Amino acid sequence: MGARRLCPHDLKRRYLPLAWPKRTILSGHPMTILEKASVPLLERMLALADQTAARFGRTPAIASHLALGIHGEEAAFFFLRRHGYVITARSWRSHRYAGDIDLIGWDKDCLCFIEVKTRTTREIASAESAVDEQKRRTLRKMAGHYLRHLPDPAGIRFDVVAVYFESGKPTDFTLFKGVFGWSEEAGY
């Protein structure tokens, strides 16, 4: 007796209990409405793909703290999309500097370089406190390198998103806009 294979209809019934909202009159451009509606759908589809991969043992072997960071960056991506950000890059790396910029996106006409910090508890230290002077310096250098390839944007900002996956509680997001600037001033 072999294991029962799952067909797409089984997955749909088991993992996607979609409850569509009642039809309402929506204002705005049809493409904007479609983009906003597709964010939750894409989020559910990626969660389903991750669950399916885990079920069949197709997940890469990485350290648990790295897996938590990746999960937090993915959650922050969808959080920011729901708040109107247009994300243009994820885990952007420069050939000149070590490290990466977690997310780069536009908040209206402002280009934002976003650092995501993820924690499972608030007991030790806040997630945003991990963006220390060295990390800020690295982010500034990488952002400068990224900007060399673009025309001058109207505004530039460095944001931090703190993500908390605490057991028994819903995921908590805190967005800090304009946390630091191009220079290290007192108070940062």
pTM over 0.85: no
**Ordered mean pLDDT values, 10 residues apiece, the chain (188 residues):** 46 41 44 59 76 74 82 93 93 89 93 94 86 92 91 90 92 93 68
Architecture of domain 64-181: 3-Layer(aba) Sandwich (3.40)
Cα–Cα dist 83/125, whole Å: 26
Q: Does the CA dihedral 44-46-50-55 come out positive or negative?
A: positive
- Domains in the chain: boundaries: 28-59, 64-181
Please give the pLDDT value at position 80: 95
In angstroms, the CA 43 to CA 74 distance is 9
